[in-house]
Amino acid sequence: MDQCKALALEFRKNDPSAFLIQSVFSDSVRDSQLEAFPADETFHLPIDLPFSYDWIFSRFHPKVLVLMAWDTWPNLVISANRFNTKVVLGSAVIGNRKKGIMGKLTKSVFKHLDGIFPSHESFYDVFRSLVPDQIPVKVLGDTRFDSVLKKIEDNAKIFKKPKNYPYSKIILFASTYEPCENLIVSLYELIRSKNPALLDNFAFWIFPHKTSPDRIISIEHKLQDANIIYQTWTSTPFENLTAQTIVFDVLGVLAFAYQAADFAYVGGALHNRVHNILEPATFGLPLMTGPKIYNSPEAMILEKSGGLFIVSKAEDIFQILNLSENDLETIRKQNWEFVQSGRGAAKRLYEEIRKL
């Protein structure tokens, strides 16, 4: 959604009369998010079957279909071709689809595209090898950089830890799932046994990916079983929170809470794929996540540059918490500069689309 929103805002700024349609497939996108999107029509896509999309193309007659990242639904692309709609892949990443059966399927879909615009130069050669020469491949960057920067810069909200909070450093665990929370408990127990003095300094802020009652209860039970004292965001006025571990059982706070943190762990990559690392990188935080980062070029780049650390067990995080202040300052600077360097991708993609 962030990638699409940045492009939509570019259209709204440069071509206000353009009729924009925003569709999504994932059920994790809330109706309220769709309603707030800067488009003329929004809806959820049907299951990718041969004639599932005919009603969309028959009703709206779109000139261009913009797919983002890796979402190249085969029947959607072929349907667009049948209705003479141009198809491009923006902020493109390749993931693990370039070899074997998946590679052959990818090539069969990509040959129907009218342009591929990779999110980073490291993807250029792979995309170029997957499509005929007549299909342009041009590195434009990732439009999420623009969306994330705009969200943070347009909102002057200052987020600080509670005034009398007894912990000087905060590890923020973002978009967590059950494997992430198991890791948090293991880390707490490791520190408690190996270097308990660290517990006088470090706090653990947990932002679950989903905040449904059953998820929050599950996290609370896990913390209780480990004898970890905690509070939830909604249980006490924020300024009165004193617990070492805080579970944020609401949405809409995470992007700004990074301001108060010293380290950020981003969830998803222990079991599936990493979530958004750009927001914490914008604040220059040293980053940690699991090994499954193939979907995120920015994660792979920062991992190579030393600004993001792959962790799979508590000992990995423990080592990072003990980095020297000089090393941490270098990481903060390079992560911040990396995000700033990504500005303008939405404008570049908009200009390429206008040429079609």
* pLDDT band for position 315 (cuts 50, 70, 90): very high
Is pLDDT above 90 for 228?
yes
Mean pLDDT along residues 65-84: 95
Residue 89 lies in a domain: yes
Look at residue 93 in the predicted model and tell me its pLDDT.
87
Which one is predicted more confidently, 33 or 17? 17
Distance CA 197, CA 192 (A): 8
Residue 163 lies in a domain: no
Residue 229 and residue 197 share a domain: yes
Is pLDDT above 90 for 115?
yes
Residue 336 and residue 196 share a domain: yes
Residue 145 and residue 173 share a domain: no
288: left (phi over 0), alpha (psi -120 to 50) or beta: beta
Which one is predicted more confidently, 233 or 97? 233
Distance CA 139, CA 108 (A): 21
Residue 45 and residue 128 share a domain: yes
Residue 159 lies in a domain: no
CB 252 within 8 A of CB 244: no
- CATH code of residue 174: 3.40.50.2000
Look at residue 28 in the predicted model and tell me its pLDDT.
75
| Residue 234 domain boundaries | 169-340
Look at residue 53 in the predicted model and tell me its pLDDT.
97
Distance CA 317, CA 204 (A): 13
Residue 240 lies in a domain: yes
Look at residue 136 in the predicted model and tell me its pLDDT.
98
Look at residue 32 in the predicted model and tell me its pLDDT.
83
Residue 164 lies in a domain: no
* pLDDT band for position 352 (cuts 50, 70, 90): very high
Distance CA 256, CA 280 (A): 9
